[in-house]
Amino acid sequence: MATLEGHLTKLQAVNDMLWSIGETPVQSLNSGLGDAEQAEAILDRMSRQVQLKGWHCNTLRNYELSKNGSNQFVLPVNTLRVDTVNPRGGWRRTATPPHSARINAIMKRSEDDTKWLMYDGDNNTETWTSSDPATLNVDIVLLLEFANLTPALQHYVWTMAAHRFQKGAMASAFVQKMTAEDVAEAMIQAVQEDTMNEDDNIINDNGHVNSVAWRNNPLYGK
């Protein structure tokens, strides 16, 4: 008996998109058929667009970047966006040097066009000095392969891609309305799952609220 799998493969997603416009499925992503290649390209584009938002599964919180031998902070090649942050609990400390959230670091392409770096925005350079912090704490959003997304995110990406694919292949207002409703439902499902997985706490995970809650608290610093 076949084993049921919760995740879609990229090939399955492309074939579902082909099926949605009445096309025959392909045996591989290298079929050379125009419709299949277009479906894959749209799936990739929608996956990037959805992931750019930053979800629990593709975001590294409080990730520590270290300088390389050239005094540069090199980012992973699949970085979509990045933001310097205060290490958790750091709001209670007097940090020396200042914590990363106060450092003007910007994601930029290197001058030699070989990598993405954290650029020193105050001094307009990609090379940091030895007196700068040796590490940066960041929240970093990464682009994952479609197969590595959660089932809810896969479904959201696929419904967006199928909607866009059908829009280009079929001039049907009825079909577009139905698929637009599917996209909205898939987005709600993905957001609800992400919220549950994130386990955010309004007191502990919001710096401003946290500061107010602990101000003049007798347990401060314990």
Is 67 inside a domain boundary? yes
Q: Are residues 92 and 164 in the same domain?
A: no
Give a yes or no: residue 221 inside a domain: no
- Output phi, psi for 140, to 5 deg: -125, 130
Contact at 8 Å (CB) between 193 and 152? yes
| Residues 17 and 48 grouped into a single domain | yes
> Is residue 91 located within the same domain as residue 155?
no
Q: How many domains does the chain have?
A: 2
This prediction has a pTM of: 0.79
Reported as a single tens digit per residue, the pLDDT across 161-209 is: 999 998 876 655 555 666 788 889 999 999 999 898 876 555 555 554 4
Q: Which domain holds residue 99?
A: 57-144
- State whether 154 and 45 are in the same domain: yes
Distance CA 149, CA 216 (A): 43
Distance CA 161, CA 183 (A): 9
Nearest partner of 186 among 157, 162, 161, 147, judged by Cα: 157
Question: Looking at the domain assignment, is residue 209 inside a domain?
Answer: no
Residue 105 lies in a domain: yes
Report pLDDT digits (tens) over 49-62: 999 999 999 999 99
- If asked whether residues 190 and 82 sit together in one domain, one would say no
